[in-house]
């Protein structure tokens, strides 16, 4: 499996591509995709999600000075991840629900280690109507303390999904854990056959020397031409 590290501006690139505006990008890591003059893969949203207004087809150019990139098979995955991130940021739950796997649902993990026995799974319909869901669920246990995490789904999203604005991350990893601590990183073992995008803040403030890192890993399963969301794994520095 190819693993890529994507540095600043990639999210702007993908969002720009989705609305027909192309920005420069810097890719680094093993098996780095080559820079070319065309984008060979289109972003295909799942049923129920329409292309953003003004989006231009793959390979279209927005001028001669700005290079376009060939992201090979990674652009559809990255496009889906960025669309999911933006839907969460905006509270567009119907859009988010359209990305949830129709049979498998989406499983939420509050810390880096996926716990199949305690992590909660929600259907697309539940995600679509989450703003009306006032039920208090037990999502696992607070790391280092052992107290149960008991929250509504909206409260959980605010604390353990979108605790920071992940549309502004400085680093994004494709099938690569960007930042971690002492916790077991078992995402690839639990979600066998899936791929993931890691939106990472290595540090919020340089004076903290990385002891305030956080990340949002979105896990997808390919079905036909669509990447469906099956896992949301939150990570953060803990004592």
Q: Is the pLDDT of residue 20 over 50?
A: no
Alpha-carbon distances of 102 from 20, 117, 177, 190, rounded to whole Å:
29, 21, 26, 19
Contact 1, 173 (CB under 8 A): no
Our separate counts of H helices and E strands in the chain read 6, 10
Q: Is the pLDDT of residue 47 over 90?
A: no
DSSP 61-122: -S-SSSPPB--TTHHHHHHHHHHHHHHHHHT-HHHHHHHB-TTT-EEEESSSS--TTT-EEE
**Beta partners for residue 233, in sequence order:** 109, 217
pLDDT for 168-220, tens place per residue? 999 999 999 987 777 889 999 999 999 999 999 987 666 665 577 999 999 99
The predicted model gives 40-57 an average pLDDT of: 50
pLDDT for 50-105, tens place per residue? 444 433 333 333 333 433 334 566 899 999 999 999 999 999 999 999 999 999 99
Percent of the chain past pLDDT 70, that is, above it, reads: 65
The predicted model gives 110-122 an average pLDDT of: 95
Mean pLDDT across the chain: 77
Q: Is the pLDDT of residue 116 over 90?
A: yes
Res 7: pLDDT:
46
pTM of this structure = 0.76
Res 129: pLDDT:
97
More confident residue, 237 or 139: 139
């Amino acid at each position: 499996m190819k693993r890529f590290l994507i540095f600043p501006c990639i999210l702007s690139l993908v969002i720009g591509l989705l609305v027909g505006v192309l920005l420069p990008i810097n890719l680094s890591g093993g098996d780095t995709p080559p820079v070319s003059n065309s984008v060979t893969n289109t972003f295909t949203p799942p049923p129920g999600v329409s292309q953003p207004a003004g989006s231009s087809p793959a390979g279209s150019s927005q001028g001669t000075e700005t290079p376009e990139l060939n992201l090979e098979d990674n652009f559809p995955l990255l496009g889906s991840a960025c669309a999911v991130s933006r839907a969460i940021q905006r509270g567009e739950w119907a859009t988010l629900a359209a990305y949830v796997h129709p049979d498998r649902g989406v499983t939420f993990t509050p810390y880096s280690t996926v716990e199949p026995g305690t992590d909660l799974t929600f259907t697309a319909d539940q995600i679509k109507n989450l703003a009306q869901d006032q039920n208090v669920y037990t999502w696992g246990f607070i790391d280092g303390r052992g107290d149960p995490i008991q929250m509504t789904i909206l409260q959980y999203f605010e604390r353990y999904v979108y605790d920071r604005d992940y549309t502004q991350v400085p680093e994004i990893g494709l099938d690569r854990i960007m930042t971690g601590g002492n916790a077991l990183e078992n995402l690839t073992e639990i979600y066998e056959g899936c791929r993931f995008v890691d939106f990472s803040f290595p540090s919020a403030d340089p004076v903290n020397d990385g002891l305030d890192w956080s990340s949002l890993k979105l896990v997808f399963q390919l079905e036909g031409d669509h990447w469906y969301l099956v896992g949301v794994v939150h990570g953060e520095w803990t004592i």
